[in-house]
Amino acid sequence: MIASIGTGIPPNERTQPEVKSLVREIFKQHDSKLIQRLQPVFDHAQIDKRQFAVETKWFKEAHTFQEKNSLYHELAIKHSLEAVDSCLSNRKFLKEPIPFEAVDMIIFVSSTGIATPSLDTYMMAKRPFREDTSRMPLWGLGCAGGAIGLSRAFDWIRAHPEKNVLLVCCELCSLTFQKDDYNKSNIVGTALFGDGAGAALVMGNKSPYLPYSKQSKPRIIETSSATKKNSHSVMGWDITNRGLEVVFSKSIPALVRSFWSKHISLFLNNVNIDHVHSYIAHPGGRKVLEAMTEILQIPQEKIKHSCNVLRDHGNMSSATILYVLNEWMQEGIAPGSKSVLSALGPGFSSELLLLEWHES
């Protein structure tokens, strides 16, 4: 059971027009026709505002990869702990706080910075987690990371039904910004990506902490992964001396209509699609959500929180799916209802989870 969700939202909020103006200012010395041609991407993204870990002036300055990664190290720990604290004490979902000592496994997901040892070890040092807590850091999964993290949590609690897993996703996409990268992918990325951290507590069906939970909660029933071979150029990072340079192909919506369409069709083969209450979809962007809605032939209501989170936060990579799940969990969905959670990521990969809502 997914018992609780928490978020860590960076403090620097900017509206989409403000970000658009900033990008125009930074890139004004380059090909003005290219910049002008890509400006409508900001207008059509259906994003109103986003949050960033750094202030506006940071984007106007040059930074080495080392400077960016050091800042990632510092701020990712900060915002991850905010999400964890929120998750374990969230009175919307819990009758009383869950002690840190109750966590048996930490899965830490991120792709926007590099750290060895992984950042979960630093989090463990700042909170009273047990020293025998298992760890599973996951890197390089991009936007699919949150969904894949939930799948790995499900695998682990099936083997250990009396235990609890804490999934933490933190992405500081702003720290990968390249002020001297004039490729289309970089400019499109500035129109979509934001920063955020999220945490989810997943309990096994024999966990002694199940009575702490309240409201209707989703249980993971089934998961499925699919990776398209030879699709490495679709999305990801080019790692250069300047840092992480975004790769973002215009073919993604087409792959949703082909590769993802086949994957979800097979996944829902034994499920009456009319009985699916909601689709908890990672909002990779407006065109991705439109393609999913078209394929599934569903009303906007069934995917509404994906649109709402995109509007209010942008694409926060792996953390975004936890923000969408948080919104659905607050609705108190009727027991017995089913939902499909989905995310797409580098690879080109697709992760699907079937959820069933139960009384706590």
For residue 221, pLDDT beyond 70: yes
- The domain limits of the chain are 2-212, 217-358
Find the mean pLDDT for residues 77-87: 98
Per-residue pLDDT tens for 295-352?
Answer: 999 999 999 999 999 999 999 999 999 999 999 999 989 999 999 999 999 989 999 9
Q: Please tell me the predicted confidence (pLDDT) of residue 142.
A: 95
| Angstrom distance (rounded) from CA 203 to CA 210 | 7
3-state secondary structure of 353: strand
Q: Please tell me the predicted confidence (pLDDT) of residue 200.
A: 98
| Angstrom distance (rounded) from CA 140 to CA 314 | 20
| Angstrom distance (rounded) from CA 87 to CA 17 | 32
For residue 30, pLDDT beyond 80: no
Q: Please tell me the predicted confidence (pLDDT) of residue 18.
A: 95
Entry pTM = 0.96
- Pick 218 or 187 by higher pLDDT: 218
Per-residue pLDDT tens for 227-286?
Answer: 999 988 888 888 888 888 888 777 888 999 999 999 999 999 988 888 899 999 999 889
Could you tell me if 155 and 138 are in contact, meaning their C-beta atoms sit under 8 angstroms apart?
no
User: pLDDT-derived band of residue 79, with 50, 70 and 90 as boundaries?
Assistant: very high
Beta strand pairing status for 49-52 and 12-15? Answer: antiparallel
Please name the residues in contact with 268: beta carbons below 8 A apart, sequence gap of 6 or more.
276, 340
- What letter represents residue 170's amino acid? C
CATH of 217-358, one of 1.10.3720.10, 3.40.50.1370, 3.30.390.50, 3.40.47.10: 3.40.47.10
Q: 1-5, 168-172, 267-271: lowest mean pLDDT where?
A: 267-271
Could you tell me if 86 and 79 are in contact, meaning their C-beta atoms sit under 8 angstroms apart?
no
Which string of b and e fits 6-37 if b means at least 16 CB within 10 Å? Answer: bbbbbeeebebeebbeebeebbeeeeeeebee
Please name the residues in contact with 319: beta carbons below 8 A apart, sequence gap of 6 or more.
146, 169, 170, 171, 196, 197, 198
The torsion angles phi and psi of 347, rounded to 5 degrees, stand at 145, -45
Residue in this structure with the two tokens 């059509």, named with its chain if needed: 44
| Angstrom distance (rounded) from CA 195 to CA 326 | 17
Active centre residues (catalytic): 143
Find the mean pLDDT for residues 142-164: 98
Find the mean pLDDT for residues 158-185: 92
Could you tell me if 328 and 215 are in contact, meaning their C-beta atoms sit under 8 angstroms apart?
no
Within this chain, domains 2-212 and 217-358 share the same CATH topology: yes
| Angstrom distance (rounded) from CA 76 to CA 53 | 9
Q: Which residues pair with 107 in a beta bridge?
A: 136, 167
Q: 31-35, 40-44, 312-316: lowest mean pLDDT where?
A: 31-35
- What letter represents residue 47's amino acid? I
For residue 48, pLDDT beyond 90: yes
What DSSP line would sit under 272-309, residue for residue? -GGGEEEEEE----HHHHHHHHHHHT--GGGGHHHHHH
Return the CATH fold of 2-212: Peroxisomal Thiolase; Chain A, domain 1 (3.40.47)
